[in-house]
Amino acid sequence: MKYIIGIGGVTNGGKTTLTNRLIKALPNCCVVHQDDFFKMMGFAAVFYWSLLFQPPDQIAVGADGFKQWDVITALDMEAMVNTIKGWIENPIKFARSHGIQVTPSIEMDDAESQVHILIVEGFLLYNYKPMLEFFDKSYYIAIPYEECKRRRSTRQYTVPDPPGLFDAHVWPMYLRHRDAMENCGLQIEYLNGLKTKDEIYNQVHEDINNTLLNRL
């Protein structure tokens, strides 16, 4: 059985923390991080080099005066979709190529009932229509403006956010994309990012296990 889980959410909401814990707890579990699909050479690297040398790249400057990293066009979503399709085609091969140990079936006849899980994690998971069909379960971590800004301001980036980035670009883009996401037609379970890491993990882990048990 193949099962794909989406872990979406606002910046600094706790997506990666939750994902990393689930990977260790779930059987035959792989992950695809949306951040790995920023165009050019990745978000941090491109941002760093653009500050120093201003090389030509595919990330436009918006009316807000900032590079438009928080939009879907900053990501190579076609490549991301193809990566997910690669897992769907052969989850065992995908897992092994990513250094994930696959638990073998006890009997050959039991191979079809073996559970393989893919977690897809990112901030714009539900804003790209060709990807919506993949998700068996969709979560979204949300936190309010004040907490999001506080967490963003205390996070140590290789290159700090330029002044005004959060209020002029990051948060407005989040609100715009969340509004679009809520009308995408996908059944999304919203998680309260103000809960403790353990509370969020326990809630999601229990929910996934119950769903898997009902499918077996």
Domain definitions of the chain by residue range: 2-215
pTM of the model: 0.85
Q: Catalytic: 35?
A: yes
Question: What's the rounded mean pLDDT across residues 89-95?
Answer: 92
Q: Of the listed 35, 36, 76, 161, which one is catalytic? A: 35
Confidence of residue 7 (pLDDT cuts 50, 70, 90): very high
| Residue 40: predicted pLDDT | 63
Check residue 107 and give its pLDDT: 39
Query: Encoding tokens for residue 2?
Result: 């193949």
The length of the chain is 216
Residues 102-153 have pLDDT tens digits of 776 533 345 556 899 999 999 999 999 999 999 999 999 999 999 999 999 9
| 11 has pLDDT over 90 | yes
pLDDT band at 29 (very low <50, low <70, confident <90, very high): very high
Domain 2-215 annotated CATH 3.40.50.300: yes
